[in-house]
Structure 1
Amino acid sequence: MSEQFGITEEMAGATWHQEIAPAVQIVMDRLQDPTDFRVSSESVLAEDDTATDPYHLSHSARWCLNSAVDHLHALKTLVVDARALHSSASYGLARGALENLGAAFWILHSDDRAIRIEHSLRWWAKNFKDQELATKTMSNRTPLSAKLDRIEALAREAACDLSKIRNGYSSTEALTYADTNSTASNPYLIWQICSGFAHGRPWAALAINEMEKRPTEAPGISLVRFTADHTRLLAITKLTMHLLEDVLRLYQDRSAGA
């Protein structure tokens, strides 16, 4: 395997075991603790929740945080516990973490309450629109329009920009926002690469994975074997952990009492 960024496979393996795995486990354990991540009644986040009831801003952020850490924990379990490096699936898990952390950061970051509320309500609108697409053949559903009307009413009351509320949001918007405002390096680009793996795109594998070619009898055709390595996956995971740290800091600052 090749060395990336001056890091050997042995160094990368040690970082996975001594830094990444313990850090992920700590956050996972915190999320499982009902006394952790509480929102103080005197906090900024509590006021946000009052303005967005019943679609609490803290709930949208926690949904994203929970899903992101779940993906990271699954990645840790594969790489460290099972010692299994998958050529595509590992990056798919990193993508799930980045996508959710990008959304959480986008929701929590702005110091402007109206923008935070707008972003959170757009996240909920996207949730309900996706639900509608998945369940439109089922009966006894609350109409999508009723849910969006309620979301829009909350946005209007909070003096939000109403032009995008009903449209939801995109991961591209959230990750490009994180590109500009977070401490993580190029999260949008890394998310695009990981998305390439999740969708089976050749360009992602050709750019990131180790490639071994074997000639065949057919002219111009080779047998190709792709393999992942600890160093490249580590670089992507460390970037993801930086974004996780940003989200945790924002959530804790917003949820703390005055």
Structure 2
Amino acid sequence: MAFSPVGPDDSAELFHSWLDVLREDLRSGHGFRTHPGSELDEDDVLVQGGLMSETVQLVIGASFANLDAAAQLLGSDDGVSPYPISTLIRAALEIAAVAVWLLEPDSTTGRAQRLLRLQHEDSRNEWMFGGDREHHASTSARIVELAAHIGVTAKSVTSKPSSSELVQHLDEVVVDAGDIHFLIWKLHSGFAHGRRWALRVGTVGISRGPSPRGGEVLALAPNGELLIGGCLVAATALDHAIGRWNLLSGNAKARTPLYRLPESLLTPPDREDHDESTGA
């Protein structure tokens, strides 16, 4: 399969400028210092061992790394496949959603409950991949004990959070987002898996041409604006997570958030009326 390069445009420049801002946040370090007496400091004391701040730093760093890699692929002149770009966009958005979900509750109890829920899932996955059964059992018991200590039920910390749940949560908490995070996540998930519906939506042309080895090969021209748009949406989700971190960590040097998304991204595509009763 052949791929056309993604050309530069205004949205690409906007994304790269935002990426520079986020990169500076990570390099400066001031945004990831938990000040004594701050709300995040209280979270770390409540769940013991500084696990809240450590977990959020890990996921924010991972989200940025995926966005940075997507930027490098988008900047290639060699006609890079859109599949890995969509995979990176999807991952960056999902991971940023985890950080936002962890930090969004206003109460220490609410944030701790979500962290314990994530920890329980981590322990279960570690056991699945060869971890010690007794260690998983003791970890689960400790999490349930901590849940009782902070006043929440065991069930509330042992249910698995889904990716779609976390991404949809972004649309609930980010002002004027509509359902843009879920739509972008859905599209790039479909694209990353090579689903036909996503290819039809996310390309400006699919054609057949001769293969150097004989026969035919599919030529795919990705919609560059859609790829850049996905990067922008993931970047604003990550920025929202960093903003919450700054607020809760007592960071006095917190900067203003990134610029708003272009209106073209916030305008949903036209959809024909669909009669569910007739399937028309």
Query: TM above 0.5, one fold?
Result: yes
| Secondary structure of 2:75's aligned partner | helix
The corresponding residue for 2:102 is 107
Distance in 2, Cα, partners of 1:101 & 1:88: 20
The corresponding residue for 2:84 is 89
CA 84–132 in structure 1, closer or farther in 2 if over 3 Å, else same:
farther
Q: What code does the residue aligned with 1:244 have? A: L
The corresponding residue for 1:71 is 66
* Shift of residue 91, structure 1, vs aligned partner: 0.8
* Shift of residue 92, structure 1, vs aligned partner: 0.6
2:161 to 154, 169, 173: 169
The corresponding residue for 1:49 is 44
Query: TM-score normalised to the size of structure 2?
Result: 0.76
Q: Contact 1:89/1:198 (CA < 8 Å) preserved in 2?
A: yes
Distance in 2, Cα, partners of 1:227 & 1:237: 18
What pairs with 1:62-211 in structure 2 (closer than 5 Å)?
A: 62-80=57-75, 84-136=79-131, 143-183=135-175, 184-185=177-178, 186-211=180-205
Q: Contact 2:31/2:251 (CA < 8 Å) preserved in 1?
A: no
Q: What code does the residue aligned with 1:79 have? A: L
Instruction: Please state if 1:225 is matched with 2:225.
Output: no
CA 32–209 in structure 1, closer or farther in 2 if over 3 Å, else same:
same
1:22 to 17, 27, 30: 17
* Shift of residue 212, structure 1, vs aligned partner: 2.5
Instruction: Please state if 1:37 is matched with 2:29.
Output: no
CA 215–229 in structure 1, closer or farther in 2 if over 3 Å, else same:
closer
Q: RMSD across aligned C-alpha pairs, in angstroms?
A: 2.6
Structure 1: runs of 5+ lacking an equivalent: 1-8, 217-221
Q: Contact 1:212/1:225 (CA < 8 Å) preserved in 2?
A: yes
* 1:49-69: CA deviation from partner (whole Å, max 9, x where unpaired): 111113621222212111100
Q: What code does the residue aligned with 2:111 have? A: R
* Shift of residue 250, structure 1, vs aligned partner: 0.3
* 1:18-70: CA deviation from partner (whole Å, max 9, x where unpaired): 33223223423432445541000110000011111136212222121111001
Aligned residues: 240
| Secondary structure of 1:135's aligned partner | coil
* Shift of residue 81, structure 1, vs aligned partner: 5.7
Structure 2: runs of 5+ lacking an equivalent: 1-5, 211-215, 253-280
CA 83–158 in structure 1, closer or farther in 2 if over 3 Å, else same:
farther
Distance in 1, Cα, partners of 2:200 & 2:228: 18
Percent identity of the aligned residues?
21
Distance in 1, Cα, partners of 2:185 & 2:198: 11
Query: TM-score normalised to the size of structure 1?
Result: 0.82
* 1:146-187: CA deviation from partner (whole Å, max 9, x where unpaired): 111112222221112431312332112211111211234421
Q: Contact 1:55/1:124 (CA < 8 Å) preserved in 2?
A: no
| Secondary structure of 1:213's aligned partner | strand
The corresponding residue for 2:245 is 251
* 1:171-224: CA deviation from partner (whole Å, max 9, x where unpaired): 1221111121123442122112211223332222122122323499xxxxx964
Q: What code does the residue aligned with 1:23 have? A: W
Distance in 2, Cα, partners of 1:205 & 1:242: 25
Distance in 2, Cα, partners of 1:133 & 1:32: 35
* Shift of residue 257, structure 1, vs aligned partner: 6.3
Higher alpha-carbon deviation: 27-36 or 149-158: 27-36
Distance in 1, Cα, partners of 2:70 & 2:234: 12
Q: What code does the residue aligned with 2:39 have? A: V
Distance in 2, Cα, partners of 1:204 & 1:110: 34
